[in-house]
Structure 1
Amino acid sequence: MPKKVDPRQRRALIADALMRVAADQGLEAVSLRHVATAAGVSAGMVQHYFRTKDEMMTFALAVVRDRTQARITDAVTALGTEPSPRQLLRTMIAALLPLDEQSRDDARVALAFLAYTAVRPAAATALRDDTTQLTAHITSLLPGPHGDDAATGLLALMEGLGIHLLGGHYPPERALRALDHHLDLIFAPSGYPGEQGP
């Protein structure tokens, strides 16, 4: 009698291999053959779950999105029931920065996906939707009448810090100091008491 295979378990195995290839070699190295080798299965088995490279890329981004959301949720929950807007923003953005091994792996995949979609606009829909939602949420936490502009600038700062962290241009401590300085500039005139610092 043939052994029954759990499709979810097999998909998880292939997904884990996909993320390892993407993190170690970059998304441009992701192929059915490379993922199959990393998973220890046939290329045909991988193709059963992912028919095209675009499907694999989109799935990799979804995995990164889920991991990132879990990091943000854990970090925000640790703040307690009533964090200030500044504390909430600082915690969220710090959770999005590549400050440890897992978040660096995820950030490399996200950055490679961004480059991949630059010449494939149709594949960028999920990324654009995420950016729109994140910008709206950050805007809701910012003081003053120009929260949308400040949110756009804050996201640009976060992306820039992330790229420099991935390139090893400076250590996490310096990135967090820059983030704190920028948040101080945003919140200083707002009248929030004691909002300077983490």
Structure 2
Amino acid sequence: MPRLVDHEVRRRHIIDAIRRVIVAGGLEAVTFQTVAAEAGVSVRLVQYYFGTKKEFLLATHRSVMEDAGARFTHRWNTLGADAAPREALRAVLTELLPLDDQRREEALVLGAFGWAAITGQGITAEETFAAPRALVMIVADQLRRAQHADNASPSNPELDAELVTMAIGGLAQGMLQGYGTAESALELVDHLLDRMLGERSRNDQLQR
């Protein structure tokens, strides 16, 4: 009997190869030929699954977002619905930092897409904005929860969430360039949350 082909597995195999090519040489290194060579398949097979370069680039971007989203969901479920806003925010924000090989690869790929949007390499910024917008909504919701729990004066959770998201993105890119360590990055995340939510108690700090 002929062997059945799992098309989703094969697509993921090719997308993983695209990610490795991007990490090694940026988006400019990505061609049907380099991807096929990295994946160990024919150029025709890559073209069969992805008709254009833009199609497989956007599929790669989605795969990074889906992997990160799966981790967010797992962390979220582990924390539980009653998790304090600070705890929930810290869990989400640290998932965006390149603290291990997988997250480092994802940060490099996303950085390459960001640069491509700036330099006009066929990917527009608008095509990659869905994930940051979703993150802003998550952060804003947690900031509103914290504000309600503390009976704090009205502020602007949406603008604060934009600021937090931009800060974490910059911190991740800085880490990729060797600016700071994992320990200092986590310290900065806690400091940022202190600025947004108020300083932790001494007991909380000792528990960290």
Cα distance in 2 between the residues matched to 1:105 and 1:122: 19
In the alignment, what sits opposite 1:137? 138
| Superposed displacement of residue 18, structure 1 | 1.5
Cα distance in 2 between the residues matched to 1:22 and 1:32: 13
Cα distance in 1 between the residues matched to 2:44 and 2:114: 28
Instruction: In structure 1, list runs of 5 or more residues that go unmatched.
Output: none
In the alignment, what sits opposite 2:49? 49
Spell out the pairing of 1:1-198 with structure 2 (5 A cutoff): 4-118=4-118, 119=120, 123-142=124-143, 143=147, 144-188=154-198, 197=205
| Superposed displacement of residue 124, structure 1 | 3.3
One-letter identity of the residue aligned with 2:136: T
Contact 1:54 1:123 in 2 (8 A): no
| Superposed displacement of residue 43, structure 1 | 1.0
Cα distance in 1 between the residues matched to 2:132 and 2:10: 31
Contact 1:15 1:60 in 2 (8 A): yes
- The alignment covers a number of residue pairs equal to 196
Q: TM-score, normalised by structure 2?
A: 0.84
Q: Deviations over 1:29-60 (max 9, x none)?
A: 11100000011111111111112221121011
Structure 1 runs of 4+ with >3 Å offset? 1-6, 120-126, 192-198
Contact 1:184 1:195 in 2 (8 A): no
In the alignment, what sits opposite 2:151? none
Cα distance in 1 between the residues matched to 2:203 and 2:99: 23
One-letter identity of the residue aligned with 1:171: T
Contact 1:184 1:196 in 2 (8 A): no
Cα distance in 2 between the residues matched to 1:21 and 1:139: 35
Cα distance in 2 between the residues matched to 1:125 and 1:173: 33
Contact 2:174 2:180 in 1 (8 A): yes
- Taking only the aligned residue pairs, the percentage that are identical comes to 33
Q: TM-score, normalised by structure 1?
A: 0.88
Contact 2:116 2:123 in 1 (8 A): no
Cα distance in 2 between the residues matched to 1:159 and 1:75: 19
* Superposition RMSD in Å: 2.4
